[in-house]
Chains A and B, each alone.
Chain A
Amino acid sequence: MMKNVIEVRDLVVVRSGRTVLPGIGLDVAPGVTGLLGPSGCGKSTLMRAIVGVQRVRSGSVDVLGLPAGAKALRHRIGYQTQAVSVYDDLTVAENLRFFSRVLGADAAEVDRVVDAVDLSDHRNQTVGNLSGGQRSRASLAVALLGSPDVLVLDEPTVGLDPVLRRDLWQLFHRIADSGACVLVSSHVMDEADRCDRLLLMREGRIIADGTPDEIRAKSGSDNIEDAFLRLVEEAA
């Protein structure tokens, strides 16, 4: 059994009076783990808690053996928020140079991550003038700077064309193969088979956890979408 990189126990998060996470628990091991669930089920809040930017009511979140948000973790986690969090008025390369200086990363990192997200042709374009998919990849590139041990990516493939999506999933697997832990959220169930392991989430709770095959077998369904529906019905 591989050691867990992320361990969440009894995590309770209340946001503006609404209990978003009512006591969630989960483990994430190295490899590519998909966090799948409908919009509004608490995926982003959970990811924010893992990165250490979410105020939590109770429970614990440990990453690489340290409490989430610890100073020593800030170099080791790459985080892509759901919003495109780069500067629209700077070019792709300027954005990456700035964030790499913040991370204290090597200048060569900029070229590496621009290539990794396939933006080499657009590196000197202002982010605001790029298409939605290109902007989101520019934001992903920032998360890849410095080859972090843990990547937390909030819906990185939404709105991208199928070829690009396949390329990105291949990239996530290459990153995971080098020993990193990649946690990717999506509300698109057909991305399930691209993951080594799945966490199915609904209304702030994990309703299934395992490899895509395990989850299908357990629920007796052919695809993850049906498995999700059956699990929800069983729980009801």
Chain B
Amino acid sequence: MKTLAVAGRVLTQIRRDHRTLAMLLVLPCLLISLLWWMFDELPGETFDRFGPGLLALFPFIVMFLVTSVTTLRERSSGTLERLLAMPMGKLDFLLGYALAFGLIATVQSTLAVAVSVGLLDLDVNGPVWLLGVVAVVDAVLGTALGLFVSAFAATEFQAVQFMPLFVVPQILLCGLFVPRDVMPDLLGAISDVLPLSYAVDAMKELVGAADESAVWGDVGVVVGFAVVALALGAATLRRRTP
């Protein structure tokens, strides 16, 4: 019930902010079209190689940023202190955010997938709806990590800097640029414990061999990371602060 109250409130706030809403929904479609255009004159199926990875990256990056900044705002404006002095469960608070951003991610990913498959001829061998599922799980992961790291940022500048710290290494090591199995052993091992690697694997699998059980396995790993990040996030929400 309180989870829904938080989610409803967050969605109203985003609806009010037309520019943010437009960027959340339109930017991923534009960027994926840009990627398609870049590869248009090249021989081979290059768009099919990078497209799926990008579909996994957008929801993750965007939700990470949006969430870490919004929760930081909530901490600095005093609204979080007020909520925690009220009968508000920490988990209700976090799940409310996850639910709201999960819904936005659903719309965002549906649009990006529709553009990729419908307009840009991305070749998907697995079921298209599963592509959407992976994207949403990915967005929830971004939200969960964003919530967690916002606890360690004192200013919005710091929160934004967490992106190169937490997100860029994952993008580099997720297998988009160099397949994970040909990376140096140490880097391969690191990429094995980064959640984004599994999200990108799932997307690649859907476009490639389309072994659904492998996709669900990857989705499970991403969900696991998201749950751990949410639990850690809950642990950083303290009713009593120094």
Chain A minimum-CB-distance residue to B2: A102
Contact bitstring B91-131, A, C-beta under 8 A = 1, else 0: 00000000000000000000000000000000000000000
B78 x A85 contact (CB < 8 A): yes
**A81/B13 contact (C-beta < 8 A), A16-B242, A55-B242, A74-B86 known:** no
Chain A minimum-CB-distance residue to B5: A101
**A87/B85 contact (C-beta < 8 A), A54-B240, A98-B5 known:** no
Chain A minimum-CB-distance residue to B76: A83
A90 x B13 contact (CB < 8 A): yes
Interfacial residues of chain A within 112-146, with CB under 8 A of chain B in the complex: 126, 142
Interfacial residues of chain B within 1-37, with CB under 8 A of chain A in the complex: 1-2, 5, 8-9, 12-13, 16-17
Interface bin, chain B: 20 to 34
> DSSP class of A's interface residues: helix, strand, loop or mixed?
loop
Residues of B within 8 A of A56 (CB): 240
- Tally A residues with Cβ within 8 Å of B: 33
Residues of A within 8 A of B78 (CB): 81-85
Residues of B within 8 A of A15 (CB): 242
B2 x A101 contact (CB < 8 A): yes
Interfacial residues of chain B within 69-96, with CB under 8 A of chain A in the complex: 77-79, 81-88
What is the minimal beta-carbon distance from B84 to any residue of chain A, in angstroms?
6
**A52/B242 contact (C-beta < 8 A), A85-B81, A90-B9, A104-B87 known:** no
Q: Is A94's beta carbon under 8 Å from chain B?
A: yes
**A77/B85 contact (C-beta < 8 A), A69-B240, A83-B77 known:** yes
What is the minimal beta-carbon distance from A45 to any residue of chain B, in angstroms?
10
Chain A minimum-CB-distance residue to B9: A98
* Distance in angstroms between the alpha carbons of A85 and B82 in the assembled complex: 7
Chain B minimum-CB-distance residue to A80: B82
Q: Is A228's beta carbon under 8 Å from chain B?
A: no
Residues of A within 8 A of B239 (CB): 52-53, 69
B12 x A52 contact (CB < 8 A): no
Residues of B within 8 A of A126 (CB): 16
Chain A minimum-CB-distance residue to B74: A87
Interfacial residues of chain B within 178-230, with CB under 8 A of chain A in the complex: none
Interfacial residues of chain B within 149-170, with CB under 8 A of chain A in the complex: none
* Distance in angstroms between the alpha carbons of A75 and B83 in the assembled complex: 11
* Distance in angstroms between the alpha carbons of A85 and B79 in the assembled complex: 5
* Distance in angstroms between the alpha carbons of A84 and B8 in the assembled complex: 21
Contact bitstring A4-40, B, C-beta under 8 A = 1, else 0: 0000000000011000000000000000000000000
What is the minimal beta-carbon distance from A64 to any residue of chain B, in angstroms?
15
Q: Is A195's beta carbon under 8 Å from chain B?
A: no
B79 x A86 contact (CB < 8 A): yes
Listed in ascending order, the chain B residues whose CB lies under 8 Å from chain A are 1-2, 5, 8-9, 12-13, 16-17, 77-79, 81-88, 238-242
5 more contacts with CB within 8 A, not counting A53-B85, A54-B240, A102-B87, are A53-B84, A54-B241, A82-B78, A87-B9, A89-B17
Query: Can you sample 16 A-B contacts with CB below 8 Å?
Result: A51-B85, A52-B85, A52-B240, A69-B240, A74-B87, A74-B88, A84-B77, A87-B77, A94-B12, A98-B9, A99-B86, A101-B1, A101-B2, A102-B86, A104-B87, A126-B16
Pairs A-B, 9 closest by C-beta atoms: A85-B78, A101-B5, A83-B78, A74-B87, A81-B78, A55-B240, A98-B9, A85-B82, A85-B79
